[in-house]
Amino acid sequence: MKQSLLALFLSAEFAFSISSLITLKIQTSMANETNDFTAAVSALLDTAGKVAQQQLEVVNTGFSAIMQVVEPLAKTAIDLVGSASNTVGQVFQNVAEAIAPKK
């Protein structure tokens, strides 16, 4: 799960970096011209970068919330299994003592 989050983070950062580079390239190639197309592309790429970053933040927050719930549940389940196995062991020991001939 952490690897997929890392991959998502890296892809979002990569997309944001690419959008910044494209915007910079468009702006430098048209430095002498005022063009609405450049502004539109720049705004579109900035918005796409922000959307990717927000998606990453939502996934990260969700992952943290899930881990905060799963961790105590897993500990409780492990403790329950340990207690149940001890109880079963004591039952078998008591049955064995009851069946075994006394000296």
pLDDT tops 80 at residue 80: yes
Instruction: Output the pLDDT for position 32.
Output: 45
pLDDT tens sequence across 54-73: 999 999 999 999 999 999 99
pLDDT at 13: 59
Whether the per-residue pLDDT at 36 is higher than 80: the answer is no
Flag whether the pTM goes above 0.75. no
Looking at the predicted structure, is the pLDDT value of residue 1 above 50? yes
Which is higher by pLDDT, 87 or 41?
A: 87
Q: How many CB atoms lie within 10 A of CB 101?
A: 4
* Boundaries of domain holding 24: 2-99
Q: Is the pLDDT of residue 14 over 90?
A: no
Q: How many domains does the chain have?
A: 1
Reported as a pLDDT band with limits 50, 70 and 90, residue 84 is very high
